């Protein structure tokens, strides 16, 4: 017997899962295999718990309905506050999600095909559907299905949760006040291996809205002992950060500087003429970009421009690169964005810079983590997303770190602080790797120079000795 497989592309599945959250999909019914009839649908989909309908048409739309309730042919109108309609198409990066009209039923649980009022599937046991915007759900027909009412395929999936928590965490972390103090002391007492360098310089790189500026604010808040908002942060389609900024962190109000500089950049965008330019990024790596330089996506910084720093030392260079990705949007990273990350990774590797990836907003991505941040390394969902990012971006899983930035809180939280501080310690450890490589390269260069000098010193002696022997 042949295996029935999903018609969802990888990108379509990622977008659908972004709407459903902490779940996996199990295919129950495929109309091209099991027939486009209400009887076939109910035979395979009744009493299966939460399900999602996935309909396809020739116009290129993938659309349908989610319900948390059972199909049971009860003949009743079922109310479900969690139910929604959705639509996915290649022209839109984000899927459309339509919630039900308040007070109206989600679907009619009858012996017919799935009837969600606004969308009625398998009408009269045919590969087609009816569209009735305003009935149970409000939507624009063109945005939902493009006006094509014929079905090329129709599937139903059971929506399964990943379960509660892992039996034991996939990383061990101490959540005590002592551990927090240890981390703070280690960071404040950090000294680079190269004496001429006084602070590790770490660059934050990521898509618009990933939480780069918020990460700095969170770290600054931990060391200040209260909430701060020095870096401009917010939610927008375009990058809130438009300048290159270097931020120094102080231990307490008026305290000494922590030996770490966090550098913030303009957000990455898919379009080649928008967001941070890769050539600007290389100039930042090499220390040529001055603080508060105003980015111009259409014109990368050139050597004779006012914002270009001609004379640079190792103090000006970046010592560790940190990619920042919103955990809630891992499934929505498009191929264009992944390609841009790949280009950046290639340039970064060429320059020998160590790299880390921060997964932000873990509490928004997983309800179990929102309930208790200590669940971050026991959450199956967070572990799954960490592995997905590791594979998609080509970064070892050991370099992927989940964190939670402060966003709505008014007071600091010990567990959140520990997660943030542990990430900073990893950054300093990776910066040490960069410095150690510089020391080795300098030593090799000195050894080569010494060998050259020794050879020069020996040549006249050997030459003179040869002449004497010939004579």
Cβ(217)–Cβ(229) under 8 Å?
Answer: yes
Domain 177-447 has CATH 3.40.50.1950: no
Is 211 in a helix, a strand, or coil?
coil
> In angstroms, how far is CA 147 from the centroid of its own chain?
34
The residue with tokens 């969170």 is: 218
**What is the structure's pLDDT at 425?**
97
**Residues contacting residue 136 through CB under 8 Å, at least 6 positions apart:** 100, 101, 104, 105, 106, 107, 116, 117, 118
Residue at token pair 């295999």: 33
Structure tokens at 60: 């290129």
Q: How far apart are CA 6 and CA 21, in angstroms?
A: 19
Q: What is the pLDDT of residue 22?
A: 76
Share above pLDDT 70 across residues of the chain, in percent, rounded to a whole number: 88
Residue ranges per structural domain of the chain: 10-161, 177-447
How many C-beta atoms surround the C-beta of residue 140 within 10 A? 11
Phi and psi at 41, nearest 5°, equal -60, -50
Quickly state the pLDDT bin for 122 (edges 50, 70, 90).
very high
Which segment of 11-25, 69-83, 227-241 scores lowest on mean pLDDT? 227-241
Q: Kindly tell me if the per-residue pLDDT of 459 is higher than 60.
A: no
In sign, the C-alpha dihedral spanning 233, 237, 241, 247 is positive
Reference 23, options 34, 35, 14; nearest CA is 14
- Distance in angstroms (rounded) separating the CA atoms of residues 44 and 154: 13
Residue 280 is predicted with a pLDDT of 84
Report the run of H or E that residue 260 belongs to, with start and end. Answer: strand 257-264
What is the helix, strand, coil percentage profile of the chain, to 5? 35, 20, 40
Tokens 């040529």 appear where? 288
Asked whether the beta carbons of 263 and 244 are under 8 A apart, the reply is yes
Phi, psi of 306 (to 5 degrees): -60, -35
- Tell me: the pLDDT tens digits for 178-224? 999 999 999 999 999 888 899 999 999 998 888 898 999 999 999 99
Helix (H) or strand (E) holding 67: strand 62-67
Confidence at residue 234, expressed as pLDDT on a 0 to 100 scale: 53
**Strand order through the sheet with 245-250:** 245-250, 257-264, 200-205, 320-326, 355-360, 400-402
Q: What pLDDT score was predicted for residue 452?
A: 47
pLDDT tens-place string over residues 143-190: 999 999 999 999 999 998 766 788 899 999 999 999 999 999 999 999
> Would you state the pLDDT for residue 462?
35
């Amino acid at each position: 017997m042949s295996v029935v497989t999903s018609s969802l592309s990888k990108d379509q599945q990622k977008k659908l899962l972004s709407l459903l959250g902490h779940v996996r999909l199990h295919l129950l019914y495929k109309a091209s295999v099991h027939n486009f009839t209400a009887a076939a649908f109910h035979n395979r989909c009744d009493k299966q718990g939460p399900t999602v309908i996935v309909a396809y048409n020739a116009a290129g739309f993938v659309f349908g309905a989610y319900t948390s309730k059972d199909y049971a042919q009860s003949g009743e109108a079922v109310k479900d506050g969690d139910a929604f309609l959705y639509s996915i198409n290649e022209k839109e990066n984000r899927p459309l999600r339509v919630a039900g009209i308040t007070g109206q039923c989600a679907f009619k649980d009858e012996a017919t095909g799935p009837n969600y009022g606004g969308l009625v599937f398998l009408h009269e046991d045919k590969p087609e559907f009816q569209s009735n915007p305003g009935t149970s759900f409000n939507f624009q027909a063109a945005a939902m299905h493009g006006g094509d009412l014929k079905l090329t395929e129709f599937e139903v999936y059971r929506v399964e949760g990943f379960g509660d928590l892992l039996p034991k965490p996939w990383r061990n972390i101490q959540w005590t006040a002592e551990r927090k103090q240890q981390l703070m002391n280690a960071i404040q007492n950090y000294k680079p291996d190269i004496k001429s360098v006084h602070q590790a310089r770490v660059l934050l790189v990521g898509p618009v809205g990933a939480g780069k500026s918020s990460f700095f604010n969170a770290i600054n808040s931990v060391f200040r002992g209260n909430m701060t908002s020095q870096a401009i942060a917010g939610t927008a389609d375009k990058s809130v950060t438009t300048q290159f900024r270097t931020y120094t962190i102080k231990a307490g109000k008026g305290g000494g500087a922590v030996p770490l500089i966090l550098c913030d950049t303009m957000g990455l965008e898919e379009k080649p003429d928008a967001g941070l330019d890769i050539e600007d990024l290389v100039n930042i790596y090499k220390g040529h970009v001055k603080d508060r330089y105003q980015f111009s996506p259409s014109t990368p910084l050139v050597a004779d421009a006012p914002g270009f720093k001609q004379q640079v030392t190792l103090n000006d260079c970046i010592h560790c690169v940190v990619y920042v990705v919103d955990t809630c949007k891992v499934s929505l990273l498009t191929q264009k964005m992944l390609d841009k990350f790949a280009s950046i990774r290639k340039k970064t590797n060429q320059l020998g810079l160590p790299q880390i990836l921060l997964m932000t907003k873990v509490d928004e991505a997983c309800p179990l983590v929102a309930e208790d941040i200590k669940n971050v390394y026991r959450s199956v969902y967070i572990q799954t997303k960490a592995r997905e990012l590791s594979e998609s971006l080509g970064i070892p899983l050991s370099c992927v770190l989940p964190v939670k930035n402060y966003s709505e809180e008014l007071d600091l939280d010990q567990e959140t602080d520990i997660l943030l501080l542990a990430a900073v310690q990893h950054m300093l450890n990776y910066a040490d790797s960069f410095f150690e490589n510089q020391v080795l390269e300098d030593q090799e260069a000195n050894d080569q120079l010494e060998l050259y000098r020794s050879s020069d010193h020996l040549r006249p002696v050997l030459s003179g000795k040869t002449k004497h022997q010939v004579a």
